[in-house]
Amino acid sequence: MTHAIVLIKAERDALPDLGGRLAEIDGVAEAYSVTGEWDFVAILRVPRTEDLARVVTERLSGVAGIEGTYTMVAFEAYSRHDLESMFSIGDV
């Protein structure tokens, strides 16, 4: 599984509905509206690295209202939830 974080700048008119449209894209696991320099953060999860290129260059780039993006590919993924389930032996 390949993971990436995409920071997204949106056009002002797109702010109200862009998050929902991002979340509907295959490969986008989650989309967040955020404060600061960027308007949205999209978490991408795809089976292969080649799929990541398609999501970023074909699907995201075709979404109206996106002014710019900055993509960071994750080397490793860590999750507290994953660690807890790995060491859980069930309800005792």
Structure confidence by residue, pLDDT tens digits, 8-30: 999 999 999 999 999 999 999 99
- Give me the pLDDT at residue 77, please: 79
Instruction: Write the DSSP symbol of residue 25.
Output: S
Chain-centroid distance of CA 8 in Å reads 10
Q: What is the dihedral of CA 46, 52, 56, 62, to 10 degrees?
A: -70
Domain residue ranges in the chain: 2-87
Query: Residue holding tokens 């660690």?
Result: 83
Provide the residue-wise pLDDT of the chain in tens; the chain has 92 residues: 899 999 999 999 999 999 999 999 999 999 999 999 999 999 999 999 899 999 999 999 889 999 999 999 999 878 776 655 656 566 55
What pTM value is reported for the model?
0.83
Residue 40 forms beta bridges with which residues? Answer: 8, 33
Options 3.40.50.300, 3.90.1710.10, 2.40.50.140, 3.30.70.920; CATH for 2-87 is 3.30.70.920
Q: Which residue is listed with tokens 């260059």?
A: 57
